[in-house]
Amino acid sequence: MIGKIFSWAVLIFACWLSPQVMAQEAPFQLNEGEEALNFKGVDQNGKSFELYEALEKGPVVLMFYRGFWCPHCNKQLSQMEDSLNFIVEKGGIVVAVTPEKPESIAKTVDKTGASFKIIHDKDLSIMNTYHVAFKMEEALLKKYKKWGIDLDAANGDNGPNLPVPATYIIGQDKKILYAFFDPDYKKRATVGKILQNL
């Protein structure tokens, strides 16, 4: 009984002390079969994009990437571009979402040759909707700056917020067909797995 009272007291105190911390969610994976929520955005060419509208034409491969400064992101995006014809042949549409500002997206396009849509997540709303967003710790930010990576400059108003580089395939019924989610930024969904699940 005393143990239960103590546990409740600690929980109430923690909620009172830091309601914002308690309200924040750690990133987590959406599962196959779950409904993907709609989102809207503007791509690197200034054209508007809406998920549900795109799904009327075919399944969507939705990717999240960190920025032009990330070699693992550039490698994945380059591979997607190299295999884009195979994805399109299966009716797929590739869309990448990033916190980096449009000027930084232009650098990503230069590095990867990406011709598919890249959406600037202006207010992190897409990343938060898909539960991939997290804020980098101050100590790691300082290390990144020493390595010449300034997230405030790359992301603008989005600051030091990044996504887990997840990939989801969303079917025309708005359900998730395939999910890849790994907090280890070095691990990515392969083109082979994407093609297999389209």
Instruction: For residue 149, give every residue at least 6 positions away whose Cβ sits within 8 Å of its Cβ, in sequence order, or none.
Output: 69
Question: What mean pLDDT is predicted for residues 72-93?
Answer: 95
Q: Residue 4: its pLDDT value, please? A: 37
Residue 143, token pair as written in the block: 């290390």
Is 116 part of any domain?
yes
Look over the chain and give the mean of its residue pLDDT values, rounded to a whole number.
86
| Percent of the chain surpassing pLDDT 70 | 87
Residue 128 lies in a domain: yes
In a domain, 189, yes or no: yes
pLDDT value at position 62?
A: 98
pLDDT of 58 strictly over 90: yes
- 59 within 8 A of 87, measured Cβ to Cβ: no
Residue 9, pLDDT > 80, answer: no
Q: Tell me the pLDDT tens digit for each residue of 127-151.
A: 999 999 999 888 888 888 888 888 8
Confidence at residue 25, expressed as pLDDT on a 0 to 100 scale: 67
Share of the chain above pLDDT 90, in %: 69
134: domain range? 28-197
Which CATH number is 162's domain given?
3.40.30.10
What is the distance between the terminal CA atoms of the chain, rounded to a whole angstrom?
Answer: 54
- Residue 118 tokens read as 């890249």
Q: How many domains does the chain have?
A: 1
Higher-pLDDT residue of 25, 14: 25
Mean pLDDT score, 71-98: 96
Does the residue 21 lie in any domain? no
Residue-level length of the chain: 198
Which amino acid appears at position 126 of this protein?
I
Residue 160 domain flag = yes
> Is residue 178 within 8 Å of 197, Cβ to Cβ?
yes
Q: Is residue 10 part of a domain?
A: no
pLDDT confidence band for 11 (50 / 70 / 90):
very low
3-state SS, residue 58: coil
The answer to whether residue 66 sits within a structural domain is: yes
Burial 121-143, CB ≥16 within 10 A → b, else e: beebebbebbbbbbeeeeeebee
Instruction: Tell me whether residue 19 is in a domain.
Output: no
In terms of average pLDDT, the best of 25-29, 107-111, 155-159 is 107-111
Pick the range with the lowest mean pLDDT from 11-15, 35-39, 165-169, 186-190.
Answer: 11-15
